[in-house]
Structure 1
Amino acid sequence: MNNFINYFVIYFIIINLITFIFFWNDKRRSKKEAWRISEKTLMGLCLIGGSIGGLLGMRVFHHKTKHALFAWGIPMIIVLQIGLVLLLYFKGLN
């Protein structure tokens, strides 16, 4: 079980860094009017564990902050992910 937690933490850190970088890259591309990263990709990264990186990317780069999907969706994803982790944690204690 200890190895699982270690791998989970490593995955969590990596996916959040990747998501943060994707938000930065998309903001940079929007300023250059270049090809953009799709909203599906950005939300997908948040759904698979990068929601904190996505929220930080939104706040740091002021990117997608006026889009309701991101402004409301990412915080809701974070709440659901915290709930899932707590559920799995307490189920594992029994």
Structure 2
Amino acid sequence: MTRQQALSFVIFIWNFFVFLVYGLDKGKAQKGQYRISEKILLGMSLALGGLGALSAGYFFHHKTRKWYFKLAWLVGVVFLLGIFYMIWR
């Protein structure tokens, strides 16, 4: 496995983890349990987890009405694309 493939795989796993965390938060919201902080969710989105967060937001119908989540997802995806460009150029 090349270095580029390894880094891409790690980023893919991170985005899958972010997707699962958003799903977990949605489940907690439906059950009225203690929730994951919005700061944590937004931070994960901005820390190269934008694609996982965006996917989870629409898959689980979670946080899609809050403009600042949509902005964080967009910025996270742009960061992710920039990192992929730097990895694969």
**Greater than 4 Å deviation, 4+ residue runs:** none
What residue number does 2:54 align with?
55
What are the superposed Cα offsets for residues 37-57 of structure 1, whole Å, 9 maximum, x if unpaired? 111111222222211110000
Deviation at 1:89, TM superposition (A): 4.9
Q: Which letter does structure 2 place at the counterpart of 1:34?
A: Q
Written as runs of structure 1 = structure 2, the 5 A alignment for 1:37-76 is: 37-76=36-75
What residue number does 1:83 align with?
82
Q: Taking CA–CA contacts closer than 8 Å with sequence separation of 6 or more, which of the two structures ends up with the larger relative contact order?
A: 2
User: Identity of aligned pairs, percent?
Assistant: 28
CA distance 1:89–1:32, change in 2 (3 Å): closer
Question: Can you give the 5+ residue segments of structure 1 that lack an aligned partner in the other structure?
Answer: none
Measured in 2, the distance between the counterparts of 1:13 and 1:85 equals 11
Instruction: Answer with 1 or 2: which has the greater Rg.
Output: 1
Once superposed, what is the RMSD of the aligned Cα atoms? 1.8
Q: Which letter does structure 1 place at the counterpart of 2:50?
A: S
> 3-state DSSP class of the match of 1:47?
helix
CA distance 1:14–1:80, change in 2 (3 Å): closer
Deviation at 1:80, TM superposition (A): 3.2
Figure out how many residues of one structure are paired with residues of the other and give that number: 89
Measured in 2, the distance between the counterparts of 1:43 and 1:4 equals 28
**More displaced 10-residue stretch of structure 1: 19-28 or 72-81:** 72-81
TM-score normalised by the chain length of structure 2? 0.85
